[in-house]
Structure 1
Amino acid sequence: MLGPPTAESYGPSAPPATMFDSMPGYEGTVAGGGGFLPPPMPAYPGPQPTPGPEQPNWNIPSISEDTAREAFMLFASSKCCYSSAPAKDGVITNMEAFNTYRYRLETFTESRSTEWSNEPYSGQTVDAYAQPPPGPWDIPANLPSLFVEGRQCIKVPYTSSVKNCHSCVGMGRKPCKDCVGAGNKLCWVCNGSGFRIGDDRCYHCNGRGRETCNDCNGQGSRMCEICNGKQQLLVFINLTVKWTNNTDDYVVEQRSGLQMENLREVSGKELFKDSQPMVYPVMGFPDPTVVQASQRLVSEHQGKYFKTSRVLRQRQTIELIPVTKVTYTWKGESHIYFVYGNEFKVSADNYPATCCCSVM
């Protein structure tokens, strides 16, 4: 007699991609396992120019010597191998401001995609073709706060149907891979001989040469992990909504010697903020490189995101980041460190008093 059919004897019973062609509003959008859904045309008018900040707000007072020293001491104390002596006893001989501008453009987008999904069927509502499903951009989603990223998966109404599980062919169980469906396997102690040494019977398999398969408890099959033994699947279109805050920065070169990467970690004094459905490049700012960066990034974001996703909001800001280069002497030698950002962070690449910590 022939054995029972295995899952490999049949093709998968999950819905074919062509089924989407008959699903109103989803024709051809998920072929190949996932579909890009172009956003609807924006309903808001084009962006309008917004005046830049006024001249009096562009200056930040230099930090005091006490502030610079306190920041340096906190920096040294945060390093386990740094002596506090240079920070505490070093003599500050010069402080030079290298304040710089940071322009930031944020484009907050929403994208939607669809794909087949399934879950074990346990009596859920089956509503496929009861009426046309809502369009992918007509389905309400829980929008997070603006410029806060998020993700939500939504089962599209009127797309759910029941199918036999394609993994176990509706049997609820699958042959155990460890014992190939036999329920037992070769004893690993005696390698199937039934004896250990000479005529001594193998205590592990009691001389049988085979042992019960632990993976399936001797049954030869295991519950299907796809349908959880339910034999059937609820198959439906799954809509994934993704909110992304796409951000680009431009920092004006301050020529102090401080690495530009350091400035990514700090904040500055906000001079200008403009938030609209679509922003217009900054105009009238005294530093022409900031104006050029704004024009370039606004154009790039329009090319990148307006055609592939729904743009919910844009925001552009200009910050003035304080940077102070501090020169000090310690033990007759001159050294420098930087204090930067509203957080008074410190960078000191060549700290003069470090030790090598090691375990003897």
Structure 2
Amino acid sequence: MYSAAIYPPQHAPAANPFASMPGYEGIGAVVAGGFLPPPVPLQPVAPTQPGPTPEEWNIPALSEDAARQAFKGYVDSQCCYQSGPANEGVITNMESFNTYRLRLETFTESRSTEMAEKPYEGETADFYAQPAPTPWEVQAKIPELFTKHTEEIRVPYTSNIKECNACHAEGTVSCKDCEAKGYKQCNRCNGSGKDGEENCTGCNGTGKDRCSKCSGAGKIKCETCKGKKQLLTFIKLKVEWANNVDNHVVEQNSGLKAEELNSVNGKELFKMAQIMVVYPLYGFPNPAIVEASDRLIKEHQSKYAQTSRIMQQRQTVELIPVTKVNYKWKNNIHVFYVYGKENKVSADDYPETCCCVIL
């Protein structure tokens, strides 16, 4: 512990007073993208492997009536689509392509530090009062899990008071608008003081206008210290929480574009969350999901564990219904898709369209 009598807080510390302070040796330097490496985590405990029951692995097939109603609603929402194919087309075949979607979420906490200052407003200068906690020892309230949030914290026992260099501890600086004169040239007479043969009424013949910026004083409040003459310097800790998400969709070769599935919901088979990291879904019946789970967990560990602390991970598996519908219209076969719990429709080859002009 250091004595405040030996190191009075009224004076600024040396250029880098934290050089020998654990956790702050390189403050101001760029380290690993600006974020501090987290402490070595404890080994997580392997959770039990939950999984869906067999009856949950499939979604009941879409009925022909439900498919037609979804198709009609879709066509009605398109300004250039005529209703004939949707109302009169004959459905010839329907095929289900239930599709799995795996989502891995990794909730992380990252920390970075920098020197900061603010106008001094009577705060306690606690620098040297006792050793400062290291960046990862500073307490921060964790927000709701799997959300994005940022918090800035003044690190305890790093605050010091110094004179404001911007105004040389005067609290005011010269007004740039009038070059500290307190007045500017009259715009009406261009500084002549005359309006023809008469004195200028704008400046009463002086040729000068009082500076509105400084009200004629020639000085304005210092923006750095807000007129306080002193600054509080301290180490600022920035804590960032982020939810890093990756999805993997098991293709079923239905012909529907995979990106279209991003806009719909599926039936949630299960959701598993675990402190620190989850384990691959080895008990899942679809091997492609098992492989994707193992791959994404390794990728997230490699990507995030070096510069942030993994707080929790969560895996979700959804079953997204996809139905391919063939229908006949004017002796030609066409296709539309009904997908997602919302029964959204995709029909790229709709046969009856017109050109609309919106005025």
Q: Aligned match of 1:263 in 258, 261, 271?
A: 261
Q: For 1:170-189, what aligned pairs fall within 5 Å after superposition?
A: 170-189=169-188
SS at match of 2:70: helix
Q: For 1:83-122, what aligned pairs fall within 5 Å after superposition?
A: 85-86=83-84, 89-93=87-91, 94-122=93-121
> How far is 1:130 from its partner?
0.9
Over the residues paired in the alignment, what is the CA RMSD in angstroms? 3.1
Cα distance change on mapping 1:183 and 1:278 into 2, 3 Å: same
CA distance in 1, matches of 2:57, 2:71: 26
> How far is 1:64 from its partner?
2.1
Deviations 1:255-284 (A, max 9, x none): 333222221222212224332232222225
SS at match of 2:124: coil
Q: For 1:275-290, what aligned pairs fall within 5 Å after superposition?
A: 275-276=273-274, 277-290=276-289
Q: For 1:330-349, what aligned pairs fall within 5 Å after superposition?
A: 335-349=334-348
Q: Aligned match of 1:27 in 24, 37, 40?
A: 24
Q: What is the letter of the counterpart of residue 63 of structure 1?
A: L
CA distance in 1, matches of 2:174, 2:66: 72
Q: What corresponds to 1:232 in structure 2?
A: 230
Q: What is the letter of the counterpart of residue 291 of structure 1?
A: V
> How far is 1:15 from its partner?
6.3
Q: What corresponds to 2:250 in structure 1?
A: 252
Cα distance change on mapping 1:202 and 1:61 into 2, 3 Å: farther
Q: What corresponds to 1:356 in structure 2?
A: 356
> How far is 1:42 from its partner?
1.3
CA distance in 2, matches of 1:271, 1:279: 17
Q: What corresponds to 2:65 in structure 1?
A: 66
Cα distance change on mapping 1:51 and 1:142 into 2, 3 Å: closer
More displaced stretch, 13-22 vs 112-121: 13-22
CA distance in 2, matches of 1:167, 1:175: 11
Mind listing any 5+ residue stretches in structure 2 that lack a counterpart? 1-10
Counting matched residue pairs gives: 344
* Contact residue 52 and residue 270 of structure 2 kept, 8 A: yes
CA distance in 2, matches of 1:246, 1:95: 37
More displaced stretch, 198-207 vs 182-191: 198-207
* Contact residue 17 and residue 31 of structure 1 kept, 8 A: no
> How far is 1:137 from its partner?
1.8
Mind listing any 5+ residue stretches in structure 1 that lack a counterpart? 1-12
Q: For 1:22-61, what aligned pairs fall within 5 Å after superposition?
A: 22=20, 24-32=21-29, 36-45=35-44, 47=46, 50=49, 52-61=51-60
Deviations 1:222-270 (A, max 9, x none): 2222221111111111212211111111112233332222212222122
1:273 is aligned to 2:280: no
Deviations 1:76-120 (A, max 9, x none): 4555x3567358624351333222111111111111111122222
* Contact residue 321 and residue 342 of structure 1 kept, 8 A: yes
SS at match of 1:297: helix
* Contact residue 125 and residue 161 of structure 2 kept, 8 A: yes
CA distance in 2, matches of 1:350, 1:224: 68
1:304 is aligned to 2:303: yes
SS at match of 1:317: strand
CA distance in 1, matches of 2:180, 2:126: 38
Cα distance change on mapping 1:60 and 1:186 into 2, 3 Å: same
* Contact residue 112 and residue 238 of structure 2 kept, 8 A: yes
SS at match of 1:253: coil
SS at match of 1:170: coil
Deviations 1:18-70 (A, max 9, x none): 12214x33332422488632211112336467365454422111222333333
Q: TM-score, normalised by structure 1?
A: 0.82
CA distance in 1, matches of 2:121, 2:331: 80
Cα distance change on mapping 1:56 and 1:358 into 2, 3 Å: closer
